[in-house]
Amino acid sequence: MALEITDSSFQEMVLKSDKPVLVDFWAVWCGPCRTLGPIIEEVASDFEGKAVVGKVDVDNNQEISMQYGIRNIPTVLIFKNGEVVDKLVGVAPKEVIAEKLSAHL
């Protein structure tokens, strides 16, 4: 299951992670985000133990959203060693997301 990441847990869960981290920036009211949600959950399950998969609700965590310039949602960022190494904006098929995450394992 994808982890809930907040402004206060972001540094510990994402920036200090020893594994690649996929972060889905989303909001409850966003239709495409609801489409992407189950895909993110599947990716979380598939990569369990190999990568961290989490979600940031942009309405409740504006500090992190602003820091990373999230203007459109859903936006998926992939972090490795505390740095953004890849980005997807909009809904993408599971295969595309898994391939991008696999490239950073």
- Active site residues per annotation: 30, 33
Q: Which amino acid is at 6?
A: T
Backbone angles phi, psi at 53, to 5 degrees: -125, 125
